[in-house]
């Protein structure tokens, strides 16, 4: 997936599913108010504007999926994480997309 498709929130569902099955760290980068209105079960809320100050939360996480309302903020979060040395980071796009895939993988 290229830089611009990452920013636009286009996802590779097979890779996203593989990350989920591998126990990826699920991070909702929306605001706390957006997060409290609904998110993916098991996800943590680290708003995009707090990402730099919360990098320690990502330490020792093998796979990371970031997501938001449309995928745009998740693309920015992915870029920040990669610039700070995190390699297995995926923009999951919308929280609803990630939720759907998490639910499908819990049923299997």
pLDDT score for 106: 77
Mean pLDDT of the chain: 90
Query: For residue range 62-108, what is the model confidence (pLDDT) as tens digits?
Result: 999 999 999 999 999 999 999 999 999 999 999 999 999 999 987 75
Question: What is the mean pLDDT of the segment spanning 18-27?
Answer: 96
Q: What one-character DSSP code corresponds to residue 5?
A: H
- How many CB atoms are closer than 10 A to CB 87? 9
Q: Name the fold adopted by 3-107.
A: Oxidized Rhodanese; domain 1 (3.40.250)
State the DSSP H helix or E strand holding residue 89, giving kind and residue range, or none if neither. Answer: strand 89-94
In the chain, domain spans = 3-107
Distance from C-alpha of 10 to C-alpha of 107, rounded to nearest angstrom: 25
Question: What is the mean pLDDT of the segment spanning 35-43?
Answer: 96
């Amino acid at each position: 997936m290229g830089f611009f498709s990452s920013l636009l929130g286009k996802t590779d569902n097979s890779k996203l599913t593989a990350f989920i099955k591998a126990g990826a760290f699920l991070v909702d980068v929306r605001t706390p108010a957006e997060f409290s209105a609904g998110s993916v079960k098991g996800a943590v809320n680290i708003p995009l504007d707090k990402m730099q100050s919360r990098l320690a939360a990502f330490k020792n996480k093998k796979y990371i999926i970031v997501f938001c309302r449309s995928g745009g903020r998740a693309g920015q979060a992915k870029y920040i994480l990669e610039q700070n040395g995190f390699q297995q980071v995926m923009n999951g796009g919308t929280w609803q997309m990630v939720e759907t895939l998490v639910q499908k993988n819990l049923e299997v």
